[in-house]
Amino acid sequence: MNVMLAEDIGGWLLASALFFGAIIGTILAIVAAFPAKKGNRLAATILATPGLLVGISSILVCGYAAVTNRLIEIKDGLIFWLAITFLPLIVSGLVMLAAWTGNKK
């Protein structure tokens, strides 16, 4: 017997996973600023990597949705995806930049 779900859960499940991943990635990137300030490049890189991965994944999903016209309302959907995408990318990028180009004393 085949089981049929009442609703397709694929879209909102992916969106919620990326949304919560962006929140967690941004928090980890902010925490990574402390080892970066002390000069610990490895710890800063490890803590900032999830934000970069979530940001790149969100860009890929947003690009796919824009190309295939799967965003329900392109303006609202694009603003949502850009908000999810750029915050972890910016914070992780700045932390990694600070970690790898810091002053060497």
pTM: 0.77
Per-residue confidence (pLDDT) for residue 49, from 0 to 100: 94
The answer to the question of residue 8 being in a domain is no
Per-residue confidence (pLDDT) for residue 71, from 0 to 100: 58
pLDDT digit of tens for each residue in the chain (105 aa)? Answer: 666 655 666 667 777 888 899 999 999 999 999 999 898 999 999 999 999 999 888 888 877 777 777 655 556 667 777 777 888 999 999 999 988 886 655
The answer to the question of residue 6 being in a domain is no
The answer to the question of residue 33 being in a domain is yes
Range of the domain at 90: 18-100
- Number of domains comprising the chain: 1
Which contacts of 24-31 are long-range, i.e. CB under 8 A and separated by 24 or more positions? Answer: 24/50, 24/54, 25/50, 25/51, 25/52, 25/53, 25/54, 25/55, 25/88, 25/92, 26/51, 26/87, 26/88, 26/91, 26/92, 29/88, 29/91, 29/92, 29/95, 30/91, 30/95
